[in-house]
Structure 1
């Protein structure tokens, strides 16, 4: 049974990679200049396997770790990325991809400052405040030391660069 799950994950990853390589005017211009690094610490619910990255906002760089799941693997395949992320709700920045990511959403009960998640199947969300939630997300990773992260992202829209180490 686990072999079937592995094959399904690999098929979705291959389909996503192929789909993201097809020319798309909206995302091609956004991805052309992408260079950022994000690292994140391990979470007891999500083990990590050296998926270190950096997130850069202006002159500030935050280390993060991506979780070991199909969604994070699909996201890693798109890196490096530079994204213009929109402000939302005074606690998060979001970006909508034109292609869907593989998801396995659940309600985390609490969002933490520095969480990197996917809402729905194509909305990348970077949280800069801790708060309770009733919504479901697919976890991608988390910033290792989010101190100063809220100040770095600011109150409005922001350009964020993601890059593997």
Structure 2
């Protein structure tokens, strides 16, 4: 009888140890490096001004990157954004960001590329493509009315 209790105790400890080992798996550092490398920088040219933007690699951003370089005549809307209707849509995964920030590059619907140059609250849904790293001077560079904007990889 003592042998059975001893064997059952040993088996229980062995399985408990296996469970503890399984829950203490350390994160794979290569996975973290891959996630950090999933950001791509592009350059946005507006007249003589140049801005650097980071795009998180997702289906929308990747489809956008695949089309670069692009020079688009963007139209002003609401004195806070420039937009361009693409002839072919991009993959979309829209959600409400709550707040638009100066320098946000977004997709409205599946084919309207929007570059925001003022921050404000929104109730609309957008798919995030990226963001200008330092948007200081963006509103001045974009000016009022239509403007030619070039997007290209670095």
Shorter-chain TM-score tier: 0.7 to 0.9
Q: Which residue of 1 aligns with 2:91?
A: 102
Q: 2:101 aligned with 1:112, yes or no?
A: yes
> 1:48 Cα shift?
6.5
Q: Which residue of 2 aligns with 1:79?
A: 68
C-alpha distance in 2 between matches for 1:55 and 1:132: 24
5+ residue gaps in structure 2?
Answer: 1-34
C-alpha distance in 1 between matches for 2:139 and 2:44: 13
Structure 2 residue aligned with 1:93, among 78, 82, 101?
Answer: 82
Structure 1 residue aligned with 2:110, among 107, 111, 121?
Answer: 121
3-state SS of paired residue (2:129):
strand
User: Deviation above 3 Å: which 4+ runs of structure 1?
Assistant: none
Q: Which residue of 2 aligns with 1:60?
A: 49
Residue deviations 1:31-53 (CA, integer Å, cap 9, x gap): xxxxxxxxxxxxxxx97623111
Q: How many positions carry a matched residue from both structures?
A: 120
Residue deviations 1:130-164 (CA, integer Å, cap 9, x gap): 00000000000000000011100001110000000
3-state SS of paired residue (2:39):
coil
Structure number with bigger Rg = 2
C-alpha distance in 2 between matches for 1:120 and 1:75: 14
Does the Cα contact within 8 Å between 1:128 and 1:150 map onto a contact in 2?
Answer: yes
